[in-house]
Amino acid sequence: MLLHDTSIIYGRYLRQSLRSRFALLFGVLMPLLYLVFFGPLLTGLPLGGRGSSWQVLVPGLLLQLGLFGALFAGFMIILEKGQGVTERMRVTPVSRLALLLGRVLREATVFVFQAVLLVLAAVAMGLRAPLAGVLIGFAFVALLTVSLASLSYALAMKVRTPQEFGPLVNAVSMPSMLLSGLMLPMTLGPAWLDVLSHLMPFRYLVDAMRDAYVGSYTTDHMLYGVLVAVALTVVAVTVGTRVFRTSGA
């Protein structure tokens, strides 16, 4: 029953995404601009002593793609509430978990597709990374998207207008990007900033992906990254499902 309901919701929203191909490609524009205009500035710089500048930058850009895209996914819920879509779904027997999973799995599909495009562009510019590491990176992007989209949808169910939603998301997204070391390794900064960044869970995902991109799969960074990604996903989906149930979505 859950799988059937989830597949229906997933298919509905995936078809919407496929009909909006421009938006699908536009989402990868910001990371692509960083790749083209910021990436060449790092070439030849000592970035922690492991891997090329592309193996440092590209994992961060992939997580940036999931971070910003998934956090703003809740805008769709706000629009649907205004159009009465959530009210109509409330009277159906569809599982509340399926209502959440169908949406977040669509988000994960879209952002992994965009991540593939970004990696292909990076390869054309000089990225060299093992295939296994690249695939592990896509898995991290998918988990990050599922977790953040779940929290974004949960928040959107609690607010009434986009004007309330936007500032709250920005208050989370900007510190997350700055303290996670998405652009550059935090170890290059002062010690106090490096210590502070360890309080940001996304830091562990960034370090794990960078290890994967140089072919290191059994490091402490990888272990911590996997544990944090899975734990964040479980907590976020649980919170999102609870909000969907109590809000009668």
Instruction: Give me Rg for the CA atoms of the chain.
Output: 18
Task: Supply 233's token pair.
Answer: 């996903």
pLDDT tens, residue by residue, 127-150: 889 999 999 999 999 999 999 999
Determine contact, residues 70/144, Cβ cutoff 8 Å: yes
Q: How far is CA 90 from the centre of its chain?
A: 28
Determine contact, residues 74/52, Cβ cutoff 8 Å: no
Q: What gap in Å lies between CA 7 and CA 10, rounded to an integer? A: 5
For residue 132, what pLDDT is reported? 96
Q: Is 49 left (phi over 0), alpha (psi -120 to 50) or beta?
A: left
- Residue 88's identity, in one-letter code, is R
- Residue 78's identity, in one-letter code, is I
For residue 231, what pLDDT is reported? 97
Which residue numbers in the chain have pLDDT < 50?
A: 249
For residue 62, the number of C-alpha atoms closer than 13 Å in the C-beta half-sphere is 36
For residue 123, the number of C-alpha atoms closer than 13 Å in the C-beta half-sphere is 11
List all residues 6 or more positions away from 101 whose beta carbon is below 8 Å from its beta carbon.
2, 6, 9, 10, 237
Q: What gap in Å lies between CA 188 and CA 184, rounded to an integer? A: 8
- Residue 89's identity, in one-letter code, is M
Task: Supply 157's token pair.
Answer: 């169910």
Q: How far is CA 57 from the centre of its chain?
A: 16
For residue 44, what pLDDT is reported? 66
For residue 2, what pLDDT is reported? 80
In this structure, the number of other CB atoms found within 10 A of the CB of residue 2 comes to 11
